[in-house]
Structure formats: C-alpha cells, structure tokens
Amino acid sequence: MSKLESKFIAVEGAIGAGKTSLVLLLSKRFNTRHNLEVVEENPFLSKFYNNIERYAFQPKYFFC
C-alpha cells in the first residue's frame, strides 16, 4: 500500500458506528498518532451506552 501523504484524517459519524475502531486501525496501519474525543466531557454518553433507546437524543444534542 502507498505511503499516507495527508497530515490529518478526521473521522465523524453516528454514535456506535465504529469510529474509534476505524481510527485505531488506521493509526496502527500507518504507524501514526491518534486523538480520540474525551468522552468524559459528555455527561450523557455513559447513560447512552447503558440505555440506548432512552438516551439517544441527549448525547447528539451535547455535540451541537
């Protein structure tokens, strides 16, 4: 595979879509650093992962 020429890659998408997994795979593949969001800053994420149906809206609203 060719050498990665970009300096940055941004990954965005819906909660639970696999963004973190993709970033970790890309980071490993291209031997680069990665920056993940600090989930502790969003007070709704732990509630979301414990009850997705009830807390689907709040985490998205927090990001706006």
What is the model's pLDDT at position 13? 86
Query: What are the structural domain ranges in the chain?
Result: 19-63
pLDDT at 5 over 60: yes
SS3 (DSSP) at 49 = helix
What is the model's pLDDT at position 21? 95
What gap in Å lies between CA 33 and CA 15, rounded to an integer? 22
Retrieve residue 13's tokens: 């998408």
For the chain, where are the alpha helices, taking DSSP H only? 19-29, 45-50, 57-63
